[in-house]
Chains A and B, each alone.
Chain A
């Protein structure tokens, strides 16, 4: 079972293949290089020039280190934490030693000591490792899970009571339909009460969303139309639970219910390269969809995306006069660690 316990922010040795981690390392090391340049240059005017000189040495080393660590990621994770960190330090220090020595032999670069270069590289790598360890503590799984549980989208009471009312109306006249509706309702609640840290398959989330929409159709009748556009996606892709349903609930509540004639909710799911793109669009009856309830659901999903995927997922909103659309882009990870 894939779970948030396996997500990048939660291991003291970072996932070097994660985009967010790479970005942080690149920015971190360059910030350190900027500081070093400031320490070395006698005045502010020479600072930038010194940094450019330093960068010429630092950048190749940095990229080489990142590439190597990404390759060795799984092997490093198998080691005990301290050993793993020591190996990373040795690797980065050693690389700096070797690279710098090689440049000296070609007589390019400044004529500094090879040992000094290696020590500086060690220090920089040490600082980054300490940062990632601290960060993983801040994102300790238990904490991340508690946060997720608090964030986990709740089903609107408005929807629950109206659905129950509809079921009550069905019981005498159409008992079979009433049974189906209650079954769907219990599935929906089971999903809402599930451990939010466990991922679900895309197919399950779609099935749940369809059940939810059936319940809404029971209430709204022909006013609610739904247009599903599911492209060529692998349906067993793991995604965080309740990504789709709360957004559909918003679309119905803000887009369809206020319109006397109803409207169409459009859902599209497609795979673009290594990304999964989900879009949910609804018409708006001239009024803007900035009600507090809607904002909350969207912010909630945005925060959950950050907890699951760090910087690799995003949520975009397009709000026009008559059209409202939410798009979620997530990385397709068949099995994240």
Chain B
């Protein structure tokens, strides 16, 4: 048998001992399968930072991690040019395990068995990574909230936009833009998905606009017969005004009044 190039692996887990265990096991199966652990990361964000510089073949990712969990990490990996395969690990997570079984995603239960790890690495699919929309749905079910970051490609680079910093989303003909206090980002997302995923944080003002509830500063009625909007919303931190449609005027105003009373 010709010697194959070892599989490059990144281990992602917030528990140092769990990472150590996987590393030792990979050493144990070295005779059957050559692997090389090129790095370790404590959560999804660290993993993405690492992967921008050092591409790997396989990411072993824990599901429950602080900062950014494994499911969200896998979603962002899908937008890499050459995305690595992801094998999830989890100690116990009923929802995740059910969702993964349903959608035929591979996972390893911790404590992981050596044989199971070997099998999973040997049958790594070469095809496209799991669908990002599917991962975002599963992730939402598992953690109960939306993603922590959105990905944005700029000149071949992946940028991560923290959802907590987004003031509003605006849909144009082709793209959705996210506005933070500093700048705008072009996203490959659908406004309706963003609306349902981040329903706790954002509210719709207009067919094409979602605004962060915390960013709303006030409202003003449009002068005369403005075709584009019934009124305008003023924001904290940025000068531009956002259009509000007639149908959404009352609920949006009620929200701001309510927040002032609190």
Q: Which residue numbers of A lie inside 8 Å of B, CB to CB?
A: 156-158, 160-162, 164-166, 168-170, 172-173, 218-221, 223, 257-260, 285, 287, 291
Contacts and interface: CB of A to CB of B under 8 A. Distances in A.
A291 B64 CA distance: 15
Interface stretch (B12-20, B29-37, B182-190, B233-241): B12-20
A170 B20 CA distance: 9
Contacts of A285: 66
Interface in B1-33: 14-18, 20-21, 24
A158 B92 contact: yes
A166 B18 contact: yes
A221 B16 contact: yes
Contacts of B14: 220, 223, 257, 260
B43 A162 contact: no
A166 B112 CA distance: 11
A259 B111 contact: no
Given A166-B18, A257-B14, 8 more contacts: A165-B17, A168-B111, A218-B17, A220-B15, A221-B16, A259-B66, A260-B42, A291-B144
B91 interface: yes
A169 B42 contact: no
A219 B15 contact: yes
B43 to A, nearest CB: 6
B123 to A, nearest CB: 23
B110 interface: yes
B218 interface: no
- Report the interface size class on chain B: 20 to 34
A257 B64 contact: yes
A164 B17 contact: no
25 contacts: A158-B91, A158-B92, A161-B92, A161-B109, A162-B91, A162-B110, A165-B18, A165-B111, A166-B15, A166-B18, A166-B21, A169-B20, A169-B21, A169-B24, A219-B15, A219-B17, A219-B18, A220-B14, A220-B15, A221-B15, A223-B14, A259-B66, A260-B14, A260-B42, A260-B67
A285 B110 CA distance: 26
Contacts of B92: 156-158, 160-162
A291 B91 CA distance: 19
B18 A169 contact: yes
Contact of A162 (B18, B24, B42): B18
Interface in B170-208: none
B165 interface: no
Nearest to B23: A169
A79 to B, nearest CB: 54
Given A162-B15, A219-B15, A259-B66, A168 B91 contact: no
Contacts of B93: 158
B169 to A, nearest CB: 21
B259 to A, nearest CB: 15
Contacts of A257: 14, 64, 66
Counting from the closest, the 5 A-B pairs by CB-CB distance are A169-B21, A161-B91, A169-B17, A260-B67, A166-B17
Interface in B63-100: 64, 66-67, 91-93
A256 B110 CA distance: 21
A262 to B, nearest CB: 8
B214 interface: no
Contacts of A220: 14-15
A61 to B, nearest CB: 51
Contacts of A170: 17
Interface centre among A164, A168, A221, A291 (most CB of B within 10 A): A168
B66 A165 contact: no
Nearest to A261: B66
A173 B92 CA distance: 25
Contacts of B24: 169, 172
Contacts of A291: 144
Nearest to A285: B66
Contacts of A219: 15, 17-18
B66 A173 contact: no
Interface in B103-120: 109-112
A259 B64 CA distance: 11
B20 A173 contact: yes
Interface string B126-164: 000000000000000000110000000000000000000
A124 B24 CA distance: 76
A260 B42 CA distance: 8
Contacts of A221: 15-16
A223 B91 CA distance: 19
Nearest to B18: A165
A168 B18 CA distance: 9
A260 B43 contact: yes
A144 to B, nearest CB: 31
A287 B145 contact: yes
A162 B92 CA distance: 8
Nearest to B19: A169
A168 B16 contact: no
Interface in B40-76: 42-43, 64, 66-67
A166 B110 CA distance: 10
A30 B162 CA distance: 62
Given A258-B66, A260-B42, A260-B66, A161 B16 contact: no
